[in-house]
Structure 1
Amino acid sequence: MATLETWVGFGSAMAGVGLLWSRMPEHVHEEARYIISSVVPMVMSYFNPYEQITVSEYGEERFRRNKMFDAVSTYLRSACLGSATKLKAELGNNIGDDPLVILDENQEVVDCLDGARMWWRLCPKASKNKGSTIISMFPGDTDEPRCYRLVFHKRHRQLVLKTYLPGIIRRWRELTAKDRQRLLFTNHSKKGEISMWTSVPYNPPSTFDMLAMGHAKKVEIMDDLRAFQKGKEYHSKVGKAWKRGYLLYGPPGTGKTTMIGAMANFLDYDVYDLDLTSVKDNAELRKLFLDTTDKSIIVIEDIDAIEVELTTKRKGKKMDNGDEADNNHVLVELSNKTDDKSKVTLSGLLSFVDGLWSACGSERVFVFTTNHVDRLDPALIRPGRMDKHIEMSYCRLDAFKVLAKSYLDITEHSLFGEIGRLLDETDTTPADVADNLMPRGKRNGEISRLIEVIDGSPADVAGNLMLRCKRKREADECLAGLVETLKKAKMESATPPMDTIEEEANKEEQT
């Protein structure tokens, strides 16, 4: 009976408190809520025996990618997948590769070091973490970017800071060096979002040995690249950023893109293919640059296509007062009509290549390609920005011999002399020569006939086909076809176009 009366009295008291609370002014409610939200987390933190470390995917203000995030991802993939129940699998571009298995979001795993237990969780971007695990005991969980959260007991703080986390970094470097996969990056942007890098595995087949270029010129380029790789102390001594710029210029089909692949193979660097038309403004360009890694090649192809627009505006457009536009002219204008200020300027690009921001990082190679070097702004290609200008010229005898070795597996032939003379007399690109050296016409017919007459395994058929393709008769036909093509090109170059003939005829008639 006494117990019942006690509960009745307690209920009446609570009802009174509720009535009193409802009669209080609104500002009292707000102050009370503020006090509760400030004091309760402090009290919980005092009694909570655990601490946490957050490893965000991006650094402060999400301006630069946090390499520690990549280190933790690699370490957990190698050490803690066995205790995980939620995983994600990805397959690279190469069919023979094993699937890449990684932790799924909101998955918690446990790691140990010297008897100390560490809890890791991958928290998704802009998602509030909830659950019954030990990580959810922490107060003040708010929406935040994608991150890893490490939880450990307070008594293990020094072990985590001085031994565990440095060990993760060392393990990450070992695994990265062991499982090195060269990557090709490109930037893309979605509507309303900033441009970001995405990557695919990059294994270009081109090497300097297969590059259709004179031997002496290839040796000069390779020596220059070697000197750059070993130039850390030199650049530090002279006070310059450890970078180098290469301008590849020449007609289409002369091997500029192939040269980039050969440089990537030679240096073993990743390649960043920068599309300026997808970049909103100079600030976004700087962010993309900061997200590139050391030991990388940053490529802007066909820079002349952008510079045509630049040169036109620079020469033709004047300000309201009649003066020429200043040097901060527009380099790229996006087609976004809702934002007229979306632009990349020449000064922004120069800062990216050789300004203040170029010193943020080291061992980077900048490569610009162009079909029309005369259209480029001198400020963009001066020494110090584009340190070495490499002309990718038309195919001559030395370059042809490289192609003949690659495509026909021959080093000498009676037609080499005639082909060399014709190449000197015509402007033929290595791409056109290579196209003539690829046997195509009869190969399909030979395959069908070979399968009909040979009674053997698929391996025997393939072996006989490869031998047949390498026969001297096939090389003779390919080279003879190339000679005819070059002769035809020589005749066409010597014959004036029809419109020129008509113009001259009209002039004679008028005279």
Structure 2
Amino acid sequence: MVPKRVQDYMFSILSDSFSRYFSPNFTFIIEERWQAVDNETFRAVEAYLPTRVGPATDSLLIGSNDPHNLEQSIPVDCKIIDKFEGMELEWSLRSTEAKKYFHRERRYFRLKCKKSDRERIMKSYFTYIADIAKTIISKRENLYINTYDQEAGIWDSTVFKHPATFDTLAMEPKLKQEIIKDLNAFVERRDFFQGVGRAWKRGYLLYGPPGTGKSSLVAAIANYLRYNIYDLQLQSARSDADLRRILTSTTNRSILLVEDIDCSTKASRDRTRIKDEQEEDSEDEQTHKLSSSDPGVTLSGLLNFIDGLWSSCGDERIIIFTTNHKEKLDPALLRPGRMDVHVYMGYCTPAGFRKLADAYLGINDHCLFATIENLLEDASVTPAEVAQHLMKSDQPQAILESFVEFLKTKKNETEEGK
């Protein structure tokens, strides 16, 4: 006589009560997102569990960019049994369908244990996982470069295999050592940043003519620190709120890269210059700007993104801006605390040429080196131009003779330009 829906409801109440009071098990849930940012505990478990794959594991996700070097990961619904201090723990990765206001599935880990082990797991086990994961991440073989997909609202990643290192960079040795010293100090001074009340981040501005090695320096920093790169085009952000959401979806121990910031958005440009440019805009361009539905990123939003409250949503991050025209940037962006280190990437120097000659030709000295170094003092030649010329042949004598003629031509062009 009891309706079926009432029966189901009563059964669910009794089932929940029974499991709550009589079941010996307890379940931890670790979701991918935590309080509007990436859940670092989820990332730690994601790095840790592939090292605990054993005979009891019922499925495994494998793949590789190199068929001779397979990598493994945890697929959805895979179960892994781990043992820690006499406890037997069951892990599984689950996924739920995305709701209409989410752009992708929501993943979470389930950890099933005995109720009596709950406190030990909270105090010891998760700390143990965090320490192991930190070691794994610091020694990871693959780095990733991420590009923001505006339509899907997620970061798309691909393996980053740029060969640039500080050993291969064609830049002044003194400047190179200063950058390395600054990076080491940043990584090792977490307590210092907390003690002085500053977010654990560092801002770099790389500026100079095109082809002077700004992108190569970014790659060298990533390879040196073993940090993933998030390559952000500011046009991808429709508004300041959108920019904040993009920022909070990046992970710790990463580089946030904004290339050619003077071209990315007018919010970064000197406000006096923008006013002059707007007066020169055509009527059609002005109409297009007024009809745009996306307000875009404002200067205040960009500043808050660099050193405001939202910039503290994460630890151990490096923000790198590159530009060919530092003078076009608004002075507010250049103040200490926003872009902490300004690195000028200039034309090729004698020291830079010797590094390139060693890399491309395999020689450390030659009778033409003195002539070339004297010409480099007066000719404006980028490291990219030097590298392009040196890689034309594997005959050092012929290449250097041709390069001398090239430098003489560039010197004449420079003098005529002046």
Q: How high is the TM-score relative to the length of structure 1?
A: 0.69
Q: Which residue of structure 2 lines up, in the alignment, with residue 122 of structure 1? A: 93
Q: Does 1:151 align with 2:112?
A: yes
Structure 2 unaligned blocks of 5 or more: 99-104, 279-287
Separation of aligned partners in 2, 1:157 and 1:220: 48
**How far 1:54 sits from its partner (Å)?**
1.1
What amino acid maps onto 2:60 in structure 1? L
User: Residues 302, 174 of structure 1: CA spacing in aligned structure 2 closer, same or farther, 3 A cutoff?
Assistant: closer
Contact 2:150 2:236 in 1 (8 A): no
Q: Does 1:488 align with 2:409?
A: yes
Which segment drifts farther, 233-242 or 256-265?
A: 233-242
What amino acid maps onto 2:361 in structure 1? L
Q: Does 1:423 align with 2:381?
A: no
**How far 1:369 sits from its partner (Å)?**
0.5
Matches within 5 A, 1:274-293: 274-293=232-251
User: Residues 205, 235 of structure 1: CA spacing in aligned structure 2 closer, same or farther, 3 A cutoff?
Assistant: same
Contact 2:37 2:313 in 1 (8 A): no
Q: Does 1:84 align with 2:23?
A: no
Give the aligned CA root-mean-square deviation in angstroms.
Answer: 3.4
Greater per-residue helix proportion:
1
Q: Which residue of structure 2 lines up, in the alignment, with residue 353 of structure 1? A: 306
Separation of aligned partners in 2, 1:118 and 1:220: 48
Matches within 5 A, 1:63-74: 63-74=36-47
Q: Which residue of structure 1 lines up, in the alignment, with residue 399 of structure 2? A: 478
3-state SS of the aligned residue for 1:208?
Answer: coil
3-state SS of the aligned residue for 2:162?
Answer: coil
3-state SS of the aligned residue for 2:55?
Answer: helix
3-state SS of the aligned residue for 2:347?
Answer: coil
Q: Does 1:186 align with 2:139?
A: no
Separation of aligned partners in 2, 1:342 and 1:68: 35
**How far 1:59 sits from its partner (Å)?**
1.5
User: Residues 157, 247 of structure 1: CA spacing in aligned structure 2 closer, same or farther, 3 A cutoff?
Assistant: closer
Q: Which residue of structure 2 lines up, in the alignment, with residue 454 of structure 1? A: none
Separation of aligned partners in 1, 2:296 and 2:415: 46
1:339-375 deviation per Cα after TM superposition (whole angstroms, max 9, x unaligned):
8246322222211211112233333222111011111
Q: Which residue of structure 2 lines up, in the alignment, with residue 249 of structure 1? A: 207
Contact 1:246 1:367 in 2 (8 A): yes
User: Residues 413, 200 of structure 1: CA spacing in aligned structure 2 closer, same or farther, 3 A cutoff?
Assistant: same
Contact 1:408 1:437 in 2 (8 A): yes
1:132-168 deviation per Cα after TM superposition (whole angstroms, max 9, x unaligned):
xxxxxxxxxxxx8211222233344334434444443
Q: Which residue of structure 2 lines up, in the alignment, with residue 43 of structure 1? A: 17
Q: How high is the TM-score relative to the length of structure 2?
A: 0.82
Identity over aligned pairs, percent: 38
1:199-223 deviation per Cα after TM superposition (whole angstroms, max 9, x unaligned):
3343432233322222333233333
**How far 1:314 sits from its partner (Å)?**
4.5
Matches within 5 A, 1:103-502: 103-113=74-84, 116-126=87-97, 145-177=106-138, 179-181=139-141, 183-189=143-149, 191=151, 193-194=152-153, 196-308=154-266, 311=269, 314-315=274-275, 340-341=293-294, 343-440=296-393, 469=394, 474-493=395-414
1:288-335 deviation per Cα after TM superposition (whole angstroms, max 9, x unaligned):
3334344332211111112457648941699xxxxxxxxxxxxxxx99
**How far 1:430 sits from its partner (Å)?**
1.0
3-state SS of the aligned residue for 2:30?
Answer: strand
**How many residues of Structure 1 are paired with residues of Structure 2 in the alignment?**
400
Contact 1:69 1:148 in 2 (8 A): yes
**How far 1:254 sits from its partner (Å)?**
0.7
Separation of aligned partners in 2, 1:174 and 1:495: 57
**How far 1:33 sits from its partner (Å)?**
8.2
What amino acid maps onto 2:235 in structure 1? T
Contact 2:200 2:316 in 1 (8 A): yes
Separation of aligned partners in 2, 1:381 and 1:396: 26
Separation of aligned partners in 2, 1:348 and 1:365: 18
Larger Rg: 1
3-state SS of the aligned residue for 2:374?
Answer: helix
User: Residues 152, 362 of structure 1: CA spacing in aligned structure 2 closer, same or farther, 3 A cutoff?
Assistant: closer
What amino acid maps onto 1:481 in structure 2? S
What amino acid maps onto 2:136 in structure 1? L
What amino acid maps onto 2:387 in structure 1? A
Contact 1:122 1:149 in 2 (8 A): yes
Contact 1:126 1:146 in 2 (8 A): no
Separation of aligned partners in 2, 1:222 and 1:160: 39
Which segment drifts farther, 105-114 or 252-261?
A: 105-114
Separation of aligned partners in 2, 1:51 and 1:405: 62
Q: Which residue of structure 2 lines up, in the alignment, with residue 10 of structure 1? A: none
Q: 40, 52, 59: which one pairs with 2:34?
A: 59
Separation of aligned partners in 2, 1:266 and 1:101: 25
Separation of aligned partners in 2, 1:190 and 1:114: 46
User: Residues 486, 57 of structure 1: CA spacing in aligned structure 2 closer, same or farther, 3 A cutoff?
Assistant: same
Contact 2:209 2:345 in 1 (8 A): yes
Structure 1 unaligned blocks of 5 or more: 1-13, 22-28, 128-143, 319-333, 441-468, 497-511
Contact 2:252 2:316 in 1 (8 A): yes
Separation of aligned partners in 2, 1:123 and 1:352: 33
**How far 1:275 sits from its partner (Å)?**
2.2
Separation of aligned partners in 2, 1:346 and 1:288: 17
Contact 1:182 1:269 in 2 (8 A): no
